[in-house]
Amino acid sequence: MASVHDLIARVGVEQARKLVPSGERKLIDTAAQAMAIESRAMGITYAGFCLTALPHNPLADDAVWERQGHKVKLVITPGYLPDRTGTMQLHGVPYGSRARLIMLYLQTRAIQTGSPEVELGASMKDWLSRMGVGVGGKQYRDVKEQANRISACNLTFVWDNDRRGKAFEKDAIVKGGIQLYEHDDENQLRLWVDTVRLSDSFFQALKEHPVPVWEPAMKLIAGKSMAIDVYVWLAYRLHVLELKTPVTWAALFGQFGHSYQNLKHFKPRFTEALKMALAVYPDAEVDVSDAGVVLHPSPPPIPERKMVR
């Protein structure tokens, strides 16, 4: 992917689009946008989410989600919230890009303010708008569903050793739930309760192991949940490497292939997601081979800006 950014810098965006296959032009456009953005706005996610991930697609409402990452295991159990009548309703595990973006907002604001109490209201609406997510119609319903799932579920991260983090007890991500108001007017600013509180155990783990990501990158891949997962994984791993590090296809399939039945179907989808993640991480150096990928020591994902012709 470095050659894509180099190509754009050398010949410009329009000429670069002519020199690649038609299926690669979206990558050229995305890479060019990343190179042209001057913002250094930073988001924060927990290290555990860089090595494991939420599902991409919905599970059965009563299904428990377990993922094994590199030296860490994530377990998420669905939970109950009261509906308008007070009846307890089961909500399944959060999934997809919307859930990932909500979680990124909550974690970023908690670290920025140094408090587990996270302001919602117009702030969250504005942030979702920056991510290209509207708050009207189907997009609002999607956000509301994922907010309910995040509010209801319990999660546990179990680490293999104490060097990268401590296991914490099964706990909610947030206390009290993320309650969304019902409004017919999609331009209404007060769509959210004023604040929501991260659980003490999750907030403590987040403070001990925060991982910075580049906010504009998240916007550019906001609708692609696997690309988000690959991006945050690279953001976590590349800048701390001292030597090039191979990762086998079997290991990649174990971490990212939960939506695919076999490695044969997974490899082309992962390669697509990797290309998109690298398009918004211009300084990342990753090689793809028949054996897997090779990660090279690279600068962190908050980039120095480069001019694009």
Q: Please say if the pLDDT value at position 8 is more than 90.
A: yes
Closest CA to 174 of 57, 73, 91: 91
**String of b and e for 138-177 (b: at least 16 CB within 10 Å)?**
eebebbbbbbbbbbbbbbbbbbeeeeebeebeebbbbbeb
On the 0-12 / 13-18 / 19+ scale of CB atoms within 10 A, 184 is exposed
pLDDT tens-digit profile of 269-295? 999 999 999 999 999 999 999 999 999
Residue length, the chain? 309
Mean pLDDT over 175-199 rounds to: 60
pTM attached to this predicted model = 0.88
pLDDT tens-digit profile of 230-251? 999 999 999 999 999 999 999 9
Q: Please say if the pLDDT value at position 182 is more than 60.
A: no
